[in-house]
Structure 1
């Protein structure tokens, strides 16, 4: 009987491990005051902390970083550059799905996109994904100052919808409180989803445009680091940046929101838990 259980466990774990891995980067931002490096908890590419970014402030879980709303130079951002999680097996450049998860706290209401997370190309203009806080006004929905915003802009994206992205309007998040943002993209279903505080805030279908990702070679926190002239800097707190190479489900997003600092378990963990051989729990930072 014991041998049977082990064989079944081995088989399920094998299937799980061969399925798409989930978390590819996790920047907890738990570093102390004066830190110059943002550590990837998965031992991948670290981030260079700009001199105007304040580390060691109180976060939603552990510490957080405070960003100064500076777009020029490198002083106001955390720069991961051509991060290791872009390439190789399971990297974003070979994936058909992705998710970004971040906690933020801001009163920033500039008349632009106050970009928290940027991932894109530093060699092709206007080719990127971005997640943040909008100060723009959308003609279709009226004033949306303070709404969450998300975009996927690959080369060949059609003007209009993909250029504009989606917003959480009328939900606004520039109120000086902690909010959880998740952006998911699934190329097979041609959908981009934006979640705010565990709830689906908006969805975009981009099947009429280029159904692909930008070529990723630059990852930054704190501004839109597009090729040429970086713009749309962010002012406020950021905590617990996570990157996944699959599109998180509603249940997974809800769990991340309910337990700040947690991550979604790897498929192998879920398989063992299903057998009752491992207690299922979301990993939390101390």
Structure 2
């Protein structure tokens, strides 16, 4: 595990150096939010394959029950563990890094249904920004009863790249490597939208879920360097995943293996 700590420390140092060289950079603007990949396409992504599992907080699930809201997933995301968690495949066949923003497109999503009011609230396809500084975010464009939200895209949840990369958290597991837990908190914009449409009473910052990610295998289309903060954040994640420190080329662990 000493090698893993060294890799993560070097990634943080590289990020600090990159940011000092670009002091005037701003976070990338919002993207139109199209589809991820056409069938059969290979995306520019962080790994060849892998998986992610979000275990939802008792606070989130409890408020849905109180408000009488059913919670479902949209393929390729599936509910597991009796509906308390969601599992999704990840990798270059599903996901794609948009340039120059550095936002990552993920297919699938979530459906909320209030049977009493008849409202259906869906997010199908979402985007993740691994911000090099500040809050990283999930973005989505909700549809209410089949109609896109008039206000367009909004921030769904927030997380921290340093928390994800912390020693002891970013480790080999599930045949790949990644964080055992990324803490996801509900954004102010999403809580307000859910409350308005579904009659929930979520508060900004509500603990949404803990995300376990295992990226596996070097991608066919390596991540390109770029000037935006989003691309710098992606590069830091890519270097940590590939096990590189300053170009030393340390390999990913074999399935089930350790550093």
TM-score (norm. length: structure 2) = 0.29
Name the one with the larger helix percent. Answer: 2
